């Protein structure tokens, strides 16, 4: 029987994991902080942002929160640094920088 995502931790034996560490249950992405995978980090320049929200649907990890219709700072705990948001922004409000 496969373990649930919440049951997997540093003491889990490899024999108890599924092949390829595949998770067969929905809504588990918030359990895993994948931001440490980044080699580049997006920087948000609020003064250049026009709140067009074009970057939001392009983010494959939903790391750009919108609160009351306003775009907020990145959720860097889940951002993998792909840079798609930078390319989607027509105003230069997002720039990628090297490092975490």
Counted domains in the chain:
1
Confirm whether 23 is domain-assigned. no
Query: Is 29 contained in some domain?
Result: no
Between 28 and 33, the more confident residue is: 33
Question: What one-character DSSP code corresponds to residue 41?
Answer: E
Residue 77 lies in a domain: yes
Who's near 62: CB < 8 A, 6+ residues apart? 75, 78
Q: What is the per-residue pLDDT across 47-84, written as a single tens digit (0 to 9) for each?
A: 999 999 999 999 988 899 999 999 999 999 889 999 99
pLDDT mean across residues, the chain: 87
Structural domain that includes position 63: 37-100
Tens digit of pLDDT for each residue in 13-23? 888 887 776 77
Q: Is residue 4 part of a domain?
A: no
How confident is the model over 5-10, as a mean pLDDT? 82
Q: What's 49's domain CATH number?
A: 3.30.70.20
Is there a domain that residue 66 lies in? yes
Extract the tokens encoding 47. Answer: 């003064």
8 inside domain = no
Banded pLDDT at 4 (limits 50, 70, 90)? confident
Structural domain contains residue 5 = no
Residue 88: what pLDDT?
Answer: 96
- In the predicted structure, residue 44 carries a pLDDT above the cut 80: yes
Which pTM does this prediction carry?
Answer: 0.69
Helix runs in the chain, H state only = 55-58, 84-88
Two structure tokens written together for 76: 């860097």
Is residue 51 in some structural domain?
Answer: yes
């Amino acid at each position: 029987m496969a373990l649930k995502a919440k049951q997997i931790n540093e003491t889990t034996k490899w024999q108890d994991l599924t092949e390829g560490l595949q998770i067969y249950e929905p809504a588990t992405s918030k359990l895993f902080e994948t931001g440490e995978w980044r080699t580049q980090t997006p920087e948000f320049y609020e003064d250049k942002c026009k709140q067009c929200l074009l970057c939001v649907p392009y983010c494959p990890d939903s790391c750009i929160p919108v609160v009351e219709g306003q775009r907020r700072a990145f959720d860097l705990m889940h951002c993998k640094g792909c840079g798609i948001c930078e390319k989607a922004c027509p105003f230069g409000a997002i720039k990628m920088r090297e490092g975490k």
